[in-house]
């Protein structure tokens, strides 16, 4: 089944007429010269603002410096930093100098850094705002020319310094442009398993995303965004860097996790993009102010519910949000319903690195919980006989860097990207993600189980923060889960712990009543330590690494599965 009939096309749009990112940058440099571009907070409390003129001045001076290195045109230059204004400046400077940018996640291990820098054959690396640079630096080959950005750690012993370069280098006078089909960036996937693949994208792809995304969400100069998810991730890069470039609104940054709440209130974003883990954290912040049971009662009182909603959203810094978007991983149905009860509609989208975060979206007034929207303009989506979602888009990647065989496997002869996701398209042409082929497992009874729908049901209970359903070669699936901060505190008191256990047993019973017999959960295993990037159980984009969890705890699966207790505690 195909969604071809519902493709939202625009008769007045010709894709190859869009200005490329550099062409749009030169326009903004002049037309928006004194308008606010970036707001950069510092950990000492200082707030730094950049106009488009100042942004362009930094870019031109850095581009001139990169040219002075006499690198071969099209050299790969990497950026490794938490989000900051200079991350985006570095990206444009790399392009102006005629090179290709390679973003790296700011939480990678030294081994992963070395793998990517060597595979991409990077000649230079911008070192920015990083917490673990001392350990990470071991992964940077001696041959790579390093440049410290303004927020780099004091311990960053690099060959060059951003501020010194800006102070001593004359700005590039020329405004070079390049063929729109030329390679602009290589994005290494965050990946839940194996060596990341280098996804190649052209300037044309970014132009298409920048213009069409703005039309989808009606974004404009009066919008505001807070950038805090890694810019190395394609969704944040598309939503923030590219969307800002073409829609011309200011971007605010976050100084640290500790200042995130203040940064959010300062930005008062009108557009807010988050992965499911962030939506969960914001919900937990509300529960810290008002206990869940009390809040549920208050929201049912007509006379005061509106006041409660207004106070809570303002306290979060989300009272100005007109569009909330979730992506990168499935958002639980219960969480979407909870935000809806506060008056915040979360629109789900669906895309991947391989199509530069441009595939499916939900429009205001069209949200249907459980669906990720309809195909974007110029996108064709179909479901193959095996149930896999196939996407043909003008933003599909050029291929995987230095991996022609993997590219051939990913994009077929008709130009469809094989996503690896299972899905279905309804009569309104809305796409529903039903699982991922690599995640489906077979029990010892020979039955296949898709974990995603079961995880969604279990996450209805806010005591559970992260859930992973597994069970290959077990008689029945089991669920691994971490507890929320509140539930973890409850588990330390014997009376509260028993109440928690009983609520989770009720959850399992209710969940199993909604599933086929072979999908029934035999045990729920609780972990006191959250899965994180640091302990290698989550990707940099905050998705659970299922394979790592299974490898780490597989020896205990049989004992948990055969336990008479429905609730088990991991030691």
The DSSP result for 43-70, as a single string, is TTS-EEEEEHHHHHHHHHHHHHHHHHTT
With a cut of 80, say whether residue 367 has pLDDT above it: no
Phi/psi of residue 3, nearest 5 degrees: -100, 20
pLDDT band for position 32 (cuts 50, 70, 90): very high
Task: Mention every residue, 6+ apart, whose C-beta is less than 8 A from residue 430.
Answer: 368, 371, 372, 373, 374
Maximum mean pLDDT: which of 70-79, 473-482, 531-540: 70-79
DSSP string, 85-113: HHHHHHHHHHHHTT-EEEEE-TT--HHHH
**Coil, helix or strand at residue 308:** helix
With a cut of 80, say whether residue 333 has pLDDT above it: no
**Nearest CA to 533 among 342, 277, 322?**
277
Q: How many residues does the chain have?
A: 571
pTM: 0.84
Tokens of 23: 């062409």
Q: What is the mean pLDDT of residues 86-113?
A: 95
State the chain's mean pLDDT as an integer: 89
The pLDDT assigned to 190 comes to 65
With a cut of 80, say whether residue 64 has pLDDT above it: yes
The pLDDT assigned to 306 comes to 85
pLDDT band for position 194 (cuts 50, 70, 90): low
Q: Which tops the pLDDT comparison, 438 or 379?
A: 379
The pLDDT assigned to 436 comes to 79
Residue ranges of alpha helices (H) inside 254-332 are 260-267, 276-289, 292-299, 302-316
With a cut of 50, say whether residue 2 has pLDDT above it: no
With a cut of 80, say whether residue 41 has pLDDT above it: yes
The CA distances from residue 293 to 283, 286, 290, 341, in Å, are: 13, 12, 8, 14
Q: Which tops the pLDDT comparison, 493 or 249?
A: 249
Q: Which tops the pLDDT comparison, 542 or 58?
A: 58
DSSP string, 315-379: HHT-TT-SEEEE-SSPPPHHHHHHHHHTT-PEEE-B--GGGTT-SEE--TT---TT---EEPTT-
Question: Residues 105-134: pLDDT tens digits?
Answer: 998 889 889 999 999 999 999 999 998 899
With a cut of 60, say whether residue 7 has pLDDT above it: no
């Amino acid at each position: 089944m195909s969604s071809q009939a519902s493709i939202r096309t625009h008769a007045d749009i010709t894709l190859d007429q869009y200005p490329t990112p550099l062409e749009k940058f030169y326009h903004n440099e002049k037309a928006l010269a004194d308008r606010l571009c970036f707001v950069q907070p510092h950990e000492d409390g200082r707030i730094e603002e950049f106009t488009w003129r100042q942004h362009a001045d930094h870019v031109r001076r850095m581009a001139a410096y990169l040219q002075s290195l006499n690198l071969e045109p099209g050299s790969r230059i990497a950026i490794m930093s938490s989000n900051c204004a200079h991350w985006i400046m570095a990206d444009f400077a790399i392009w102006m100098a005629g090179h290709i940018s390679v973003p790296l996640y700011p939480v990678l291990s030294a081994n992963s850094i070395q793998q990517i820098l060597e595979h991409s054959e990077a000649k230079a690396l911008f070192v920015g705002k990083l917490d673990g640079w001392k350990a990470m630096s071991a992964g940077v080959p001696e041959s790579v020319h390093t440049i410290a950005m303004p927020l780099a750690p004091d311990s960053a012993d690099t060959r060059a310094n951003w501020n010194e370069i800006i102070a001593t280098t004359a700005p590039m006078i020329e405004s070079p442009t390049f063929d729109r089909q030329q390679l602009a960036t290589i994005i290494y996937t965050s990946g839940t398993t194996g060596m990341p693949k280098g996804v190649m994208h052209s300037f044309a792809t970014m132009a298409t995303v920048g213009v069409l995304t703005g039309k989808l969400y009606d974004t404009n100069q009066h919008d505001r965004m807070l950038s805090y998810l890694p810019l190395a991730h394609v969704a944040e890069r598309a939503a923030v860097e590219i969307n800002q470039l073409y829609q011309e609104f200011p971007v605010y940054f976050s100084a640290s996790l500790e200042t995130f709440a203040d940064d959010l209130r300062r930005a008062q974003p009108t557009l807010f993009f988050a992965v499911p883990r962030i939506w969960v954290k914001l919900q937990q912040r509300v529960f810290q102010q008002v206990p869940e049971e009390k809040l549920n009662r208050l929201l049912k009182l007509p006379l005061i519910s509106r006041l409660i909603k207004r106070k809570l959203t303002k306290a979060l810094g989300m009272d100005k949000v007109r569009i909330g978007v979730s992506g990168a991983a499935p958002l639980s149905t219960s969480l979407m319903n909870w935000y809806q009860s506060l008056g915040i509609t979360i629109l789900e989208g669906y895309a991947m690195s391989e199509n530069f975060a441009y595939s499916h979206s939900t429009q205001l007034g069209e949200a249907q919980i459980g669906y990720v929207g309809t195909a974007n303009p110029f996108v064709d989506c179909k479901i193959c006989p095996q149930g896999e979602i196939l996407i043909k888009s003008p933003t599909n990647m050029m291929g995987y860097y230095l991996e022609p065989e993997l590219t051939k496997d990913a994009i077929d002869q008709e130009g469809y990207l094989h996503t690896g996701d299972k899905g279905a398209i309804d009569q309104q042409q809305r796409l529903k993600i039903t699982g991922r082929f690599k995640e489906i497992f077979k029990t010892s009874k020979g039955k296949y189980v898709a974990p995603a729908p079961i995880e969604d049901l279990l996450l209805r209970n806010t005591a559970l923060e992260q859930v992973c359903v597994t069970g290959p070669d077990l008689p029945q699936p089991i669920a691994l889960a971490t507890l929320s901060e509140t539930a973890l505190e409850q588990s330390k008191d014997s009376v509260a712990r028993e109440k928690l256990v009983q609520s989770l047993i009720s959850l399992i019973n209710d969940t199993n009543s909604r599933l086929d017999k072979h999908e029934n959960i035999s045990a729920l295993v609780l972990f006191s330590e959250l899965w994180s990037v640091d302990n290698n159980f989550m990707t940099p984009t905050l998705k659970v690494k299922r394979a790592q969890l299974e490898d780490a705890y597989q020896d205990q699966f049989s004992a948990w599965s055969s336990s008479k207790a429905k609730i088990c505690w991991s030691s």
